[in-house]
Structure formats: structure tokens, C-alpha cells
Amino acid sequence: MLDVWSWICALPDSAAWTEPDSDSPQVFELASSKTGRGGAARAIRIGADRTSRPGSEPSVTFTVRACGFQESSEERTLWVSDACPLSSDKPFLPLLLQLLQEIILRSPTTRESSCPRSQLQKLRPDPVSWIMESHTPESLSSFFNLVFLTRMFWACSFDVPSEIGSFYFQSLLTPNLEALSCKHAPVLRTFLWSVGADAEECFMRTLGYMLAKWLVLREVGVGLQALTPLPVQGLSFSYATEAHGLWILKGYAPVAAMKLTRSNDQMKKFPVLEAQDSVLKYVLSHQQLEAVVQLEYSVKFCDGYIQVNTRVDNIRLHVANLGFGKESSEDGLAFAGERHFPSRARVWVGPEVGATYVGGLSLGRSTSNGERELVTQRVMKSTFGKSKAPEVKATGKTSTRAKLRDWRWDQDSEGNAAVFDAVLHDSTTGQEVAMSCPSKGEGFRKRYAAANRPFTKSGGLVFAGDEYGESVGWRLGREMEGSVLKWRIGGQVWLSYVANDVKSSYYETRVVEWCDEIDLPLIPGKVA
């Protein structure tokens, strides 16, 4: 797998740079191919140029170049770094900061986005510096590779010949796609938590946009299928943390990387689609699920046992449309309101599998579900008599009331894990949307504009604690006092799609699953 970081860290000790006046460039080949234009080899390389002038500190500048992509032998410069002072104790901190900053500032925008880029002009160096100090070279290398691949996406995909972009996806990104999976990005979790929610959102939307483009290319078939090192379902990302009495799980998943569970058979491959459906599927592929699960917990030390309680504080689900103004104009305004919507959310939390220190699990009630009344009226008119001018006219009015509900909230258990479940129902048929074909009526059309819509106007969904009922609790033995336990938290989210503004019979449902570990400190005074 690509390891640019190890090569960079070895540069100051390189034998070619031992002499003070030596400015010999060092080159690292990122990707190469033997079938370039005119038989020449194509390659993308990164070079390090050392500068040492009298009266100034020695520094190094990195340059990424593309070779063999044109008939001439000239190299094309794709990206140039700022100078990195070699005399610093962290000589390559400016390099990592620059890469991260440029990724955040180039993140795709959404119509409803409030990411304040004007306030992110300068990423704070302290969190990045602390990450470089506190992590092993191996884990830091995985993080740097992920950041570098993401930054090179912009360099190789915009304002360059299309053959460079194709080469990037096939020869650079695809062989190293495993760097984007959860198990190879432990430092990413620390980075996202430390830089704040605004920078996190921008970074993850850039990552999601890059993966969406890769998934589209893989779908149409450009030689990427045979090179895929992991299932596309492995391209989702999540992390969990404990802070201030909250367990927090955050998850991100490009919609196209979610497992397809239900759809009609119209849109299996691009070549068999009509023009409108092709554009529709292209738009739907540029979406990302962004989930935040917050569970409030408390620990109470009682005579003979420890009581641990938790309740839902917030579950927020948002489907972001990833793109830019240029792409929006190409897709057409008719598709601007087409997006997936959450149709089911399932969250579980509890001790690790096989734990024997839990004496019992107590659930709260399944809450009463919000309902609305539908009033219908019938007016009956009758006439009596044979003349054209009726002698008697009677009007009768009747009304019926039907109770309809969109969401059903339940609590359940699996072993010692508590489960919180929310399911969306079709108000016309009463069926679960995630498990059936939605009705062809108007129930889900104009779903972001109607007064009684089950989603926010921007296409999201928020569940507060009062909708999930009372808290759940576990009893643990007092011998666990003073320890910090590892508990598991996870979730599944189903997204469905039916036409909103456009006329299309296509529907589908996809699902993603995340599972992470969180800390449960059983220390008196740590948690109220």
C-alpha cells in the first residue's frame, strides 16, 4: 500500500542531502503505467526539492507532477507545497496542515450548507501537532496517506486533462482504497473530534464526494471492478466517543456505498436507462448520509450494586446533496429536490459481548406515538317533488376521523444491549416504508414542503429524547467500581427513495451499519 509518509520522514537523513550545498531532488513514484501515449510510460510522482541559501534556514518544497500524459515529454505540475523548514522539531507539520486546509476549503457545497468557510481560513495547528506527537508512525502514516489521496483528488480531477483524472482513479486511488476504511484510519477519529464539527463536516463531505465519483465510475465500468480491494460497503466511516455525560456516535456513508436491500428493476445499469432516469441516478449517487447519535448516561453507586442508566438525547439523520454550482446546472433544477430519506433508524448500546458483570437490563416503555387526525366530510343533497323548483331540499353532513401516524418508536433488547428503534410507515397503506414499495399516491411527494411533512425542509430528521420514552438501565456489581469499561454502541440506518418532484417510478431502499466502542467510567464523581 502507498506509504508517502515514511518516504517524507526519511528525507532529512537522506545521503543525497548530507552536504550543506546539495540541492539534489528526491523523487517518489506514486503510480505508474507502461501504456502511455505514444508508448511512453505514464506516472504521477512527488518530488522533494531542498533549498539552502546563505543566511536562511534549509527547507524542503514538495511538488506533484504528471509525466507521459501528453505527446511532448514535458511534465505537468499538479500541486506545489509551501516550504517546510528542516530545522524545526516538526518539519512536516506545515505540510500536513496545508493538505488538510486545502481539503476543507475545497469541500463541496450544498444548498442548505452552513459550513462557515470564511471562519476556516486557518486550521488550528495545535490538534494536528498533538496528533503527530501522540500516535505511532504506522497509524500516522495511514492518516497521512488518506489525507494525501484526498488532496490529490482535487489536483488530478479539476483543470487537468481527463486522462490524468482517469489515471488517478484507476492507478492511484483504487489500489490504495483500503486506506479509506475504518480499520486503517484510527487517527482520523481523533482528528475529526479535535478540529470541531464545522471542519469535520467539510472534510467528510470532501471524502464523500471523492468516493461518490469513484463509485459512479465503478458502476459504469471503466476497469475499476477488478481492482477493488474491499467491498464498497466498507467505505462508510464512523467513530464513537464519550464526553460530558454523553455517548456520541457519528457516522458517514456515501449513499452509493450503502447496501441495496430493495428496488425495482428499472435502473440496474446506465446503458439501459432513459435520459431522465440516468440523470436521476447520477444525482442520487452524489449524496451522503450523515448521522449523529447522542445518548445521555448516568452512573449511580448504590448499596450492593452500581446503576447505569441511559436515554436518547438526540438522533440526527441528514442526507446531504454533494456537488457544486456547475454540476447543479448540468443536472437541472428539476432534480434539485430529489434525495433519499430516512425510513428506519435502529440504535443499540450495552456491554461488550459475553460480559458477565451485568446483573440485569431494565427497559422503559415504548412511547405513545404521535398521531394526527384526518377529517373527511360528506354532503348529501336531496330534492322532493316533480316540479323544476323543488318544494323541499335537505342537506346532510357526516364526518369520519382516521388516525394516521408516520413514525413508530420502540424499545427492545438483544442480550444485555438496549435497542431503540424508529420505523417510518406509509400513511396510505400502513406498511413499513423500508420493507415495502411505497404507495403511488401523493404521500411522499413534496415531502420537504408540506405542512405535515415527516422530515425537515432540508431533508433531515431529528429525534429527541421524549420520543423514545423513559431511560433504560443496567445493574452491575460493586466490584467494578473504579474501572473504565468498554461498551459497544452501534446503529443501522435505512434510506429510501421515491420520486419527490420529478415523474419517475423508481424506488429503492439502502442500509448501512456501524458499530464502535465507547468508555463507561465507573469512577465516583466522574459522572453524575
Instruction: Determine the pLDDT at residue 372.
Output: 53
Instruction: Determine the pLDDT at residue 208.
Output: 93
Cell reading at 412 = 427492545
Which range, of 321-325, 339-343, 390-394, averages the lowest pLDDT?
390-394
Confidence of residue 328 (pLDDT cuts 50, 70, 90): very low
Asked if pLDDT for residue 329 goes beyond 50, the answer is no
Average pLDDT over every residue of 33-58 = 78
The pLDDT tens digits of the residues spanning 440-463 come to 656 677 777 777 777 887 778 888
Asked if pLDDT for residue 10 goes beyond 70, the answer is yes
**CB count in 10 Å sphere of residue 452:** 8
Judged by DSSP in three states, 242 sits in: strand
Confidence of residue 289 (pLDDT cuts 50, 70, 90): very high
d(CA 128, CA 526): 28
Instruction: Determine the pLDDT at residue 74.
Output: 75
The pLDDT tens digits of the residues spanning 75-109 come to 899 999 999 988 888 899 999 999 999 999 888 86
What is the DSSP track for 326-356?
Answer: HHHHHH-GGGTT---EEEEEEEEEEEPTT--
More confident residue, 291 or 110: 291
Q: Which amino acid is at 294?
A: Q
Beta bridge partners of residue 38, listed in sequence order:
none
Find the length of the chain.
Answer: 528
The pLDDT tens digits of the residues spanning 171-204 come to 999 888 887 776 667 889 899 989 888 899 999 9
Instruction: Determine the pLDDT at residue 51.
Output: 82
d(CA 513, CA 198): 24
Domain range summary for the chain, segments of one domain joined by +: 1-235, 254-362+407-528, 372-402
Asked if pLDDT for residue 345 goes beyond 80, the answer is yes
The pLDDT tens digits of the residues spanning 454-496 come to 788 777 888 887 776 678 999 999 999 999 999 999 999 999 9
SS (H, E, C) 29-97: EEEEECCCHHHCCEEEEEEEEEECCCCCCCEEEEEEEEECCCCCCCCEEEEECCCEECCCCCCCHHHHH
Instruction: Determine the pLDDT at residue 16.
Output: 61
d(CA 518, CA 487): 5
State percent of the chain over pLDDT 70.
Answer: 76
Q: Which amino acid is at 112?
A: E
Average pLDDT over every residue of 214-223 = 78
Instruction: Determine the pLDDT at residue 377.
Output: 57
Instruction: Determine the pLDDT at residue 375.
Output: 54
d(CA 439, CA 498): 9
pTM (two decimals): 0.85
Angle (deg, nearest 10), helices 137-157 and 125-134: 130
Confidence of residue 330 (pLDDT cuts 50, 70, 90): very low
Asked if pLDDT for residue 114 goes beyond 70, the answer is no
Beta strands in 52-139 (DSSP E): 59-67, 76-80, 84-85
Instruction: Determine the pLDDT at residue 11.
Output: 86
Asked if pLDDT for residue 343 goes beyond 90, the answer is yes
Average pLDDT over every residue of 247-270 = 82
Instruction: Determine the pLDDT at residue 204.
Output: 94
d(CA 424, CA 439): 13
Residues sharing a CB contact under 8 Å with residue 280, sequence separation 6 or more, in sequence order: 335, 338, 502, 504, 506
Confidence of residue 266 (pLDDT cuts 50, 70, 90): very low
Judged by DSSP in three states, 237 sits in: strand
State percent of the chain over pLDDT 90.
Answer: 38
In the numeric block, the cell 423508481 is attached to 506
More confident residue, 375 or 60: 60
Angle (deg, nearest 10), helices 197-220 and 93-105: 70
Phi, psi (degrees; rounded to nearest 5) at 38:
70, 20
In the numeric block, the cell 475529526 is attached to 192
